Copies of this chain bind each other. A is one copy, B any other.
Amino acid sequence: MTADGSSGVAATGTYAVAALVERFGGACGGDLRRRVAGFAPLESATVEQLAFVTAARYRGAVAASAASAVLVTAQDAGLLADEAHRLWVCDDPYLHFARIAQFFDANAHPDEPSGIAASAIVAAGARIDASATVGPQAVIGAHASIGARVRIGSGTQVGAGSTVGEATRLHAGVVVYAGCTIGARCIVHSGAVIGADGFGFAKDGPCWVKIPQVGGVVIGNDVEIGANTTIDRGALGDTRIGDGVKLDNQIQVGHNVQVGEDTIMAAFVGIAGSAIIGRRCQIGGAARIMGHVTIADDVVISTQTFVSRSIGKPGQYTGYYPMAEHAAFEKSAAVLRRLDGLRERVRRLESAMRVAGDATADRPPDPTVPERPA
């Protein structure tokens, strides 16, 4: 149990607020000698913990909180003057929180095991840096290369000839096939599968003939890959994931896909083969990208949306059926099934109106009305 009542990984050690402010910047009120041990939500934080707010509407929660210090913007601090003795003013409280929490986290695991576990199997010709950790029951294939300070979790499989860059962490139960490259400082969560065959078949009458998938997977630096996410190897060339990409759980990336730097995707996103995704895109959960399309930089795709064509310019693109109470859904769906028929009825009415009376046909267009569909 940690101090905030969670059963999670506990931060160890405490730090004076003064030391944290000096390291991370900003300005904090009150006695800077007080010590803190980590972050907690505003409502459960103790006097030994930090919290943050991202909007002044949380004013009541700040007043009620026991937190030792609360990260706020200068603007919000002005609205929270009563709390000045524990406000820590900074440019971006959420980003500040991320950086300080990383600092606590990095110091929270002092006694993790290191070295190669006796039960791990390392094949001939594999190169494992002396500073790397390989967990129990892990398997490192022939001629694989494991960099400095890499941590390979228990039961994880690294295929023959694959490369894992420095300070990357593969959690327990990851599978990396042969011939894949993972960059530095990546995090790969359990159940992720990197380099399984892409899905490619030629038709021979009713049968499907497998296209051998002989390309690889190349993952850049600072990439995070969620639990049970799958990234297929290329058919001939490679599947490529750019630096800084963040993939949530249960994502599927097809063969020969390219994902640009700093793009982020939520759970269940599916990218079909040979799609090219730009940089800094944000792709909502369960969105699907059709094969062979190209998506520009800085595109935002809403959750559940099926991207059936290329997108050439930044912006947000959306397509999901809006939820309703079931009875209302049933009524709308019944009309939707014959929507072209409804449009036709409107066309007939328009024709009939023109026949019935010219007085109405000559009215000027209503300027508030959007452009009329063809």
Contacts and interface: CB of A to CB of B under 8 A. Distances in A.
Contacts of A340: 328, 331-332, 334-335, 370
Contacts of A360: 351-352, 355-356
A249 B272 contact: no
Interface residues of A, number: 165
A194 to B, nearest CB: 9
B344 A343 contact: no
Contacts of A321: 304-306, 319-321, 336
A294 interface: no
A270 B270 contact: no
A156 B249 CA distance: 19
A27 interface: no
Interface in A351-374: 351-353, 355-357, 359-361, 363, 366, 369-373
Shortest Cβ-Cβ A-B pairs, 6 listed = A8-B216, A341-B373, A105-B212, A319-B323, A331-B340, A98-B202
B270 A199 contact: no
A50 to B, nearest CB: 10
Given A6-B237, A135-B139, 13 more contacts: A8-B216, A9-B214, A121-B136, A121-B154, A139-B155, A155-B175, A189-B193, A196-B226, A249-B252, A318-B324, A341-B373, A344-B372, A349-B350
A344 B326 contact: no
A37 B56 CA distance: 66
Contacts of A272: 266-267, 285
B350 A369 contact: no
Interface in A248-284: 248-250, 252, 254, 261-262, 264, 266-268, 270, 272, 279-280
A306 B285 CA distance: 10
A105 B272 CA distance: 24
B208 A264 contact: yes
A339 B349 contact: no
Interface stretch (A77-85, A126-134, A228-236): A228-236
Contact of A338 (B105, B141, B304, B373): B373
Contacts of A371: 341
A248 to B, nearest CB: 4
A165 interface: no
A172 B155 contact: no
Interface in A273-314: 279-280, 285-286, 288, 290, 300, 302-309
Interface stretch (A15-23, A28-36, A58-66, A178-186): A178-186
Contacts of A270: 250, 267-268, 285-286
A324 B316 contact: no
Contacts of A178: 9
Contact of A8 (B119, B238, B331, B347): B238
